[in-house]
Chains A and B, each alone.
Chain A
């Protein structure tokens, strides 16, 4: 995949500027945001047949908000309202689009310092806050519907 420039990225996500985000990897179609949030950079997490996809065997084969949240809850995450990166906690934020609020559109991960996102087939970025990817224009991911956290062990 072609790693797109900062200018091109800002066309897709108008709230991103050079000061509030930075690129963290090259673009690749190997894994998606959900895989990235689960710590897997080899497979695309989606309930589809084929070795290039992965879906936890005990989880229902759909990408609804409830199902995706269930993956993290099963891993020890619990719901929170705090939208900031929090020292000592891993956090995930699940986005949904307003025209399809039952299906997740994106998952962002916080390592306790900053928020990180794998942008579809594009690159990983580090971004200052969750609202930078929120919105309904261009490629923006809608709104954050749920935030979950678990203590870093």
Chain B
């Protein structure tokens, strides 16, 4: 980082920064232990200012890294959600007139949705699926079972009961908001 080094050298040359920092430090944070050991004062001040200068030198890089990490995190979240919406749309379009659930579950987009669990944040895919189930009940039971490794649906439950069981499971596990009565 040549620019940072130049900045740092400028400050070292002027010597003003270390001096101002020392005075500020004394005013704001009196170090009583140090006050007792005045003979070591010079060395400690030099070390402190050097440490501070080094930290300052890396500050922009650390800031950039923080921004980059934040960007990557939000990017990943958006990507999962966008991919989810795309696969759901594709799956619905392709399978809406099919008579076989077995065939629907083997559709590429359905498998892609389940595959998103590898990259989604914890509970993100569950939330998306349960919200989708709430909005437009469909055969998301198998995907939810695979992703959550749970099965809140009783063996004899019909379609509507299965939908309700999963929505309730989502509420009980803090994935969906509870109903306000």
Contacts and interface: CB of A to CB of B under 8 A. Distances in A.
B158 interface: yes
B156 interface: yes
B156 to A, nearest CB: 4
A50 B162 CA distance: 10
Given A1-B137, A1-B138, A29-B137, A51 B95 contact: no
Interface centre among B95, B101, B137 (most CB of A within 10 A): B101
Chain B interface residue count: which class? Answer: 20 to 34
Interface string B82-111: 000000000000011111111000000000
A146 B161 CA distance: 35
A29 B141 CA distance: 12
Interface stretch (A17-25, A40-48, A73-81, A82-90): A40-48
A49 B154 CA distance: 11
Nearest to B105: A48
A29 B139 contact: yes
Given A29-B137, A50-B153, A51-B154, A120 B97 contact: yes
A32 to B, nearest CB: 5
B99 A120 contact: yes
Q: Is the interface of A mostly helix, strand, loop or mixed?
A: loop
Interface residues of A, number: 29
A30 B159 contact: yes
A34 interface: yes
A51 B155 contact: yes
A119 interface: yes
Interface of A: 1-2, 4, 12, 29-30, 32-34, 42-44, 46, 48-53, 63, 104-107, 119-122, 139
Given A46-B101, A48-B102, 18 more contacts: A1-B137, A12-B97, A30-B158, A30-B159, A33-B99, A46-B99, A46-B102, A50-B155, A51-B156, A52-B157, A52-B162, A53-B101, A63-B100, A120-B95, A120-B96, A120-B98, A121-B97, A139-B97
